[in-house]
Amino acid sequence: MKIGKKLTFDLFDFFSISSIQLMKSAPAEYPPVPVTLEGEYVIVQPMLAEHLADLCDAAKDGELWKLWYTLVPSPETMEAWIQKAFKEQADKTCLPFVIYSKAHQKIVGTTRFLRIEKTVHRLEIGSTWYAKSVQRTVINTECKHLLLTHAFENLKCIAVEFRTHRMNTASRAAIERLGAQLDGIFRNHYVMPNGTMRDTAVYSILDTEWPAVKSGLEYKLGK
């Protein structure tokens, strides 16, 4: 019994020390600051107030706000949605981006880092939506590759999370194609704008899983 207790203590101590060393070796820019990430197909750039019209146009492509299982703002609520993102950015809990397609030469969607932990290097990639005409294309694959590379290799995150409505099968399939693992379902998580209850599917990728996920993404991108 003494050996078992000592082993448990030593393992706990080891992981505690490892976590402390990780925090000490982390880059000075954590929490993340505005940055532009450019790939072959997209440019992921910081969201600005002047992106309002472009984001409205992207949302109109497919009338995304009418999908009951999404939280895409309508053109009428887009400005307030952007201002809320800026407030969360000022609080250092969110970093919003717009997604520019080189082929289309316009902004086709948005994404962000959110739920940015202050003491543990963990965050979520979420509030992501694209114009219907570019959904299920290389755009999302490269966007996720850029964001995940920045999160794991520059910000030294230990985990990156993804959340979506349990009934949003397209979103869940896209997350699962990345290689993210399902952590669980938050049942009756919160009330949607239409009054229905949302069950939230929570996924994550760990830093130890990133090399395999990265290889999969680069294979899809032909790298």
Residues of the chain with pLDDT under 50: 1-3, 5-9, 11-20, 23-24, 27-28
Count of domains in the chain?
Answer: 1
Q: What are 108-135's pLDDT values in tens digits?
A: 999 999 999 988 999 999 999 999 999 9
Indicate yes or no: pTM above 0.75: yes
Strands (E), the chain: 37-38, 42-46, 94-101, 106-114, 122-130, 159-165, 181-191, 197-206
Q: What are 77-119's pLDDT values in tens digits?
A: 999 999 999 999 999 999 999 999 999 999 999 999 999 998 8
**CATH, residue 64:** 3.40.630.30
Note whether residue 23 is domain-resident: no
Note whether residue 18 is domain-resident: no
Rounded to whole angstroms, the Cα distance separating 140 from 163 reads 16
Note whether residue 8 is domain-resident: no
Note whether residue 15 is domain-resident: no
Domain ranges, residue 201: 30-220
